[in-house]
Amino acid sequence: MKSKAPLVLMEQMVMLLVFALASALCLQAFVKSDGLSRRSAARDRAAVEVQNAAETLRSQRGDMGNALTRTAEALNGEYAQGLFWLDYDENWTPIDYDACGMEAPAAAYRLEVQGVPADVPGLRTASVTVEDIGDPASPDVLFSLNVSWQEVNGRG
């Protein structure tokens, strides 16, 4: 009469292999879902920041240069050559480079507002975008919106 111990041992080894494969797949799914959750949270926050900047810009009215300058002042951003930008750290706290100096944290997100040429006289249009710049090699647009306003009687 032969012993059944090797057969039972083989069956348990197969069960351990199946369990290890299943746990590896579950772990991979959890890691992927965490990444998707973080990206979704960043997109939601980017949408709020874009809307805030768009509404601030629209409230300034006037020509593009003055509206961008006043928006930069209102949001504590930077303005140069027709482009307004504001950098955020990984916690979505605006980075004030003037106050931080050399101790400034690394920027993770950047809000940019740039004028877009309009074909209609008196209509001003700007593109408001938030990018994930945590990886400088491949910045990723999280949210983008075009905002327009009409000048009244040639002024804002």
Question: What does the domain layout of the chain look like in residue ranges?
Answer: 5-150
pLDDT in tens, the chain (156 residues): 577 778 888 999 999 999 999 999 999 999 899 889 988 999 999 999 999 999 998 888 777 888 888 888 888 888 888 888 999 988 998 988 776 666 767 888 999 999 888 788 888 899 999 999 877 777 789 999 999 888 765 454
Q: What is the pTM of this model?
A: 0.75
* Neighbouring residues of 57: CB distance < 8 A, sequence distance ≥ 6: 67, 68, 71, 113, 126, 128, 147, 149
* Neighbouring residues of 133: CB distance < 8 A, sequence distance ≥ 6: 87, 107, 108, 109, 110, 139
- The rounded distance, in Å, linking the Cα atoms of 1 and 27 is 44
Contact call for residues 83 and 112 (beta carbons, < 8 A) = yes
